[in-house]
Structure 1
Amino acid sequence: MIDYFKALINVTNNKRLQELADEGIFSTVIHKTDPDTGEPQKEDVYLYENIHLKNTSKGILIQGSLHKYRSIIKGIATAKQIKKQNGFNGDLFTLKDINETLQTLCEVIGFAPSLAVLQNIEIGVNCEVSFDPQEFLKGMLFHKGNHNFKIDHDGGYIQFDYNQYYIKIYDKSNHYGLPSYILRTEIKIMKMQKLHNAGVNLVTLEDINEFTLLQAFELLYNEFEAITYYDYTLRLEELTSKQQDKAKDYQNKEYWKKLSKNKDRKIKQRNREELDLMIQEFSSNLKGQIQRQMIEAKNKILDTSENENMLQSNHPLNGGQKGTTILPANHELTDFKVQNYQRFPASEMLKNVPTDHEAKNSKMSQNYTYNIGANCDIPPFLDLLFPTVKTDPSTSTKSTPSTPRPRTRKKPTSEVMNEPRNEGRFCPITGVSLELENPETKYITTKTLKHLKETDPSRYVLICSMNLPHTGKRAKYETDIDAHIAKQIRNYYRYRHNVKGKEWAKQLTFDFDTPSAVNE
C-alpha cells in the first residue's frame, strides 16, 4: 500500500553518511558543484539501492520507493527491472513486508523511524482484474469537477492533478509485462495537510500501522469513488431508444464539460446518477469490479480477512450465535449531538472502539475495518424483537359501550425482551428487525435507530459508518444523524432492484435471495 515516500530525518549526521560512503554502502555519491564557480557544494546526494539521501541544513532528506527497495534487497526484481524501473512494485506489499523493509532501511542508514517526518507519500493498491485495464481507462470522463487529466503510455495511464495530491490510475500489467491484468489505483500526497485534514494520523515513518493505513485506504477509496466514467461494456441493445440517445451523450467528454458550465449543478448530478444506474444494471460495471478488488487487496495487505470472517460466521443464517457483537458488552457510544453532526465524519464515531493501538493524537479518528464497502453480512438485530400475539377469531369479541375494553398494563422493556421473539421480518438493507416499525414498513426508520443506539451501540456504530458521509459536511435537510441514516437506507431500498447482484460502495451487503431478509 505504501510506495514512494519523502521524509526529513531531523538530525544532521554527515559523519555517518560519509562512513557509509567509505564502506561502499552507497552505490553512487553525486557531488554537486556550483554552476558559476565550479566549487563543490555541501549538499551531496547519496544513492543507496534506489533510495536517495541528501544532507540539508535541517537534516537528511530521504526519498524513494519503499516497495521497489524491498524488491531489490529481497531479490524479487530482475536486473532489467532494476535498470529500467529502479525495481519492481507490481506484487503484493503487505503491512508485515512494510515493517520489515523499514526496519532494514533504518538499520542500514542508522536512524529511528520516529525522526523521519513525512513530506510526501504514495498510497495505492494493485488490483488483479479480469479485464484489460484500458477498457476502463478509455471511458474516463472526470474526477469530481476536474475534466482536465493527463493521459500517457498510449492511454494506459491517467492522472488527475490537485494542489495537495495526485490521483493516479494506470495499467500496471502493461508497465511490467505481467501475465495477468493488474490495475493500480493510487493517491500521491504532495502536502501532508491533505492526509491530516482527512483524519489520517501519518506524521512520521513510525506512524505507519494497520489503523493509519486503513484510514489512508478510506481516503483512496473515496477519491476513486468520485470518478465518473463511461462503461464501454454497456449493453446498448437492452436500453430504450431514449436511453440509447443518452448513452451517446454520456460517452462524450464535451457533453459533461458543457454541463459543468451550467449554473444549475443539479442537472449534471442528475445525469451522473442516470449514467451510474445504466452502468449498474446494463453493463459489467468495471468500476464496481475494481472497487471490490481494492477491498480484497486491502484485506490482504492488512490481513483483516480473519475479522470479516468472524463477523460473517456470527450471522444466524450461517449457524452463528444470535446477538453476537464484535465490540465488548461494556462499550459505550459517544453522545453525538446535532451540533456535532456537521463537524464529524462517520469514521470519527469509531474513535471509542477499544483497540490495542491508540492514535498518538487523540483528535485524529480511528477507522473501523468495515467502514468502506467491505463484504460483510450484518447479523439481524434479534435483541429488539417483540412478540406477536396470535388471537383466535372464534373467541375474539368486539368491544361495546356497555362492555368497555379492559385496560392492559404496558409491559416494561425488560419484560418484553425476555418474551418469545418473532423472527419473521427484517430490513433487507441492514438485516435489523422491523418489529418496532409499522406492519407496512419495509425498512428501518429513526424509531429503530434510536432504540438500536441505546441497546446495541456497536451495531449502531457500524450502520453509521456505512451510511454517513465521510466529508464531515452536514446534510442539507436532515437535522440529526438518525434522520440522515434513515434517508440513506430508504434510498438504498427504493433503488435496490437497479443494482441486484451488485454492491453499493458504502452500505451493508444486500441479500435479496434470503427469504428471511425480504418482506415483499
Structure 2
Amino acid sequence: MIDFTKILLLGIDLKRLYNLPQLEFKTEVSEKTGVLSTKHTAYYHFCKIVIYDSGLILFSGSIHKLYNSIKNQKAPNYNEKQKETYKGFNGNQFTISQILEVRTHLEVLFDCEPQQMQFQNIEFGVNTQPNFEPKLFLKGLLYHNGKNFEYRFENNFAQVEHQQYFIKIYNKSGQFGISKHTVRVELKVTKAEYLKNLNIKTFEDINQRTLENALKSLLKRFDEVVYYDYTINKKNFTKRQKETLNNYSNPRYWLYNLKPKNRDKHKKKLKGFIMNYSKNLHQKIRREINLKGVTINRLFKKPNGVTINTSSIGLNITPNTSKKSSQKKDRICPITGVDISVQKEDSFLLSNTGFKVLEKENPTYYNFLIETLLTGKANRYEKSIYSKLSKQVRNRYFNNIEKHNLKQPTLF
C-alpha cells in the first residue's frame, strides 16, 4: 500500500549513524562546477539517507523496494548483467504486516522510535491484475480535475500533478516483465495538510485505520479521472454518435474546446456510452483496487515460530516446528518469553503495553528485565521507561536473527 516515502528523522545520534558499517556516507561533487556538497549521502537498499550540514537527516525512497531487496525478491525481468543499473522491484503486493516489518527495521537502523520518523512525502498505491492490456486503459486517460495527463516511458506511465498530491497510473507488467497484466494506481501526497486529513504525521500513525483512510482517498481520486474507453462497441452507432465519441477521445477537446461549466453534461454522456457499450475498464480496475486494498490492509497474526530459554534472554532462540506449538493461541515474545496477547495483533515483540501489564502482574520479572535490558542513555523521544525497554527488545531480536540465520528481516 505504501511505496515511496520522504521521512524527516528527528533526534538521531549522528555519530552512531556515521559509524554504522552498512552505511557508507559520501560527499557529492557537482559535475558542472566541481564544488563539494555540504551534505553527506548514503544509499541503502534502493533508498537514500542524506545528512545535511545543519544536522537535518532525510530518508527517501521506496520502502516497498527496500523490503523486496532485504528479502532478495527481484523483478521477473531481472538480469544479472544489468545489476549496476537495476533500480529495485515494487510490482508485487506490499501488505500492512510487511510495512510494519519495515518500520521495525528502520527503528533498529536509526535507533529511534516511530514518532521520530516524520513523513514529508508518501505514496499510497495498489497493484491490480486486470484481464486486459494495461496500455488499452492508459491511452484513454483524458484529464483529472482540470489537468491533462503527462505520459512517460513509452506511454507506460501517466500522471497529473496537483498542489497537494499527484495521481499516477502505471503499466507495471511492461516495466518489470510480469507475466500477468499489472496496472498500478497510486496517490502521492506531497503536503502535510493532506496527510493530516488521513490522520498521518509520523510512522507511528501507520495502522489499519489510517491505511483504510488512504485507500478511500485513492479510490476517490481514481473516480475523478475522466477517461475514454477504447472497448466501446460502435457497431450500431449513428454517424453523429461516432463523431461525438471521436471528440470525446481527444483530451484537447475537453480542456480547450469545452468550457469548464459545460464539461459535466458531456462527462455524463460519455459515462453513459461507457456503461452501456463498453467493457468498462475503469470499473474493473476500481473493483480490484478496493478488493486488494482491503486485503493488503488487513492484519494477520504472526505464527508462533520460536521457543525461548528465558534464563538467557534472547540468546537461545531455536525454531519450533511442533504441531502443538503452531496451534497455540497465546502469542509469546521471542526475546523475553512473555505472553503478549494483550498487545495489538500486529505486534510480535514485547512492547509498551505488555511491559505495563507485566509490571503489575509480575513485578519481579519486570525488574529483572529492567536490570538485564537497560543500557545506554535515553533520548527525549523515549517518553517512558517502557519505550527504552521496547527498543532493547527490538535490538536483541534483530541481533539474534542475524546470529541464528532465522528467516526473518535482518538489518545487516
Counterpart mapping for 1:108-507 below 5 A: 108-147=109-148, 149-196=149-196, 199-260=197-258, 262=259, 265=261, 267-303=262-298
Aligned to 2:50, the other structure's residue is in SS state strand
Superposed displacement of residue 48, structure 1: 2.0
Indicate conservation of the 8 Å contact 1:259/1:268, yes or no: no
Aligned match of 1:51 = 47
CA displacement at 1:218 relative to structure 2: 1.1
Residue 97 (1) aligns with residue 98 (2): yes
SS of equivalent to 2:25: strand
Please give the per-residue CA displacement for 1:482-515, whole angstroms capped at 9, x wherever unaligned. Answer: xxxxxxxxxxxxxxxxxxxxxxxxxxxxxxxxxx
Partners of 2:250 and 2:30 in 1: how far apart? 52
Paired residues in the alignment total: 297
Shift of 1:140: 1.3
What is the deviation of 1:35? 8.9
Q: Shift of residue 254 of structure 1? A: 2.6
Cα distance change on mapping 1:215 and 1:140 into 2, 3 Å: same
Can you give the 5+ residue segments of structure 1 that lack an aligned partner in the other structure? 306-355, 358-520
Instruction: After TM superposition, give the deviation of residue 39 of structure 1 in Å.
Output: 8.2
Matches within 5 A, 1:54-69: 54-56=50-52, 57=54, 59-69=56-66
Superposition deviation, residue 258 in structure 1? 3.3
Inter-partner Cα distance in structure 1 for 2:272 and 2:216: 24
1:62-120 deviation digits (Å, cap 9, x = unpaired): 11110000011111126648643432110010101110122122212322211111101
2:171–2:184 contact (8 Å) kept in structure 1:
yes
Q: Give the strand-richer structure, 1 or 2.
A: 2
SS in structure 2 opposite 1:158?
strand
- RMSD across aligned positions (CA): 2.5
Displacement of 1:300 = 1.8
Contact 1:77 1:87 (8 Å CA) reproduced: yes
Residue in structure 1 matched with residue 385 of structure 2 by the alignment: none
In 2, the alpha carbon distance for the partners of 1:132 and 1:295 equals 20
**Partner letter of residue 218 of structure 1?**
K
Instruction: Give the TM-score, by structure 2 length.
Output: 0.67
Q: Is the 8 A contact 2:170 2:184 kept in 1?
A: yes
The residue type equivalent to 2:268 in the other structure is: E
C-alpha distance in structure 2 between counterparts of 1:84 and 1:288, whole Å: 36
Q: What fraction of aligned residue pairs are identical, expressed as a percent? A: 32
Change (3 A) 1:83 1:213: farther
- Partner of 1:87 in structure 2? 88
SS of 1:64's equivalent in the other structure is strand
Residue 408 of structure 2 is matched in structure 1 by none
SS in 2 for 1:44: strand
In structure 1, distance between residues paired with 2:13 and 2:142: 49
Could you say if the C-alpha distance between residues 188 and 93 of structure 1 is closer, same or farther in structure 2, counting changes exceeding 3 Å?
same
* Paired residue type of 1:172: K
1:73 aligns with 2:70: yes
Q: Which residue of 2 aligns with 1:336?
A: none
Distance 1:254 1:110, change over 3 A: same
Per-residue CA distance 1:359-382 (angstroms, 9 max, x = gap): xxxxxxxxxxxxxxxxxxxxxxxx
Q: Distance in 1 between matches of 2:221 and 2:117?
A: 27
1:71 touches 1:88 (CA, 8 Å); kept in 2? Answer: yes
Q: Which runs of 5+ in 2 are unaligned?
A: 301-343, 346-412
TM-score by length of 1: 0.54
2:225 alignment partner AA: I
Match for 1:294: what amino acid? I
Amino acid across the alignment from 2:284: Q
Q: Is the 8 A contact 1:238 1:282 kept in 2?
A: no
Equivalent in the alignment of 2:16: 16
Following superposition, the deviation at residue 51 of structure 1 comes to 2.3
1:126-147 CA-to-partner distances (Å, cap 9, x unmatched) read: 0111000100111111112112
> Partners in 1 of 2:4 and 2:27 — Cα distance?
24
Q: Please give the alpha-carbon distance, in whole angstroms, between the structure 2 residues aligned to 1:91 and 1:180.
A: 11
1:33/1:251 Cα in 2 relative to 1: closer, same or farther (>3 Å)?
A: closer
Which protein shows a greater Rg? 1
Equivalent-residue separation in structure 2 for 1:195 and 1:236 (angstroms): 43
CA distance in 1 between partners of 2:50 and 2:162 (Å): 27
Q: Runs of 4+ in structure 1 displaced over 3 angstroms?
A: 32-42, 78-85, 238-242
Alpha-carbon shift at residue 50 of structure 1 (Å):
1.9
Contact persistence 1:127–1:184 (CA under 8 A): yes
Separation (CA, whole Å) in 2 of partners of 1:229 and 1:36: 43
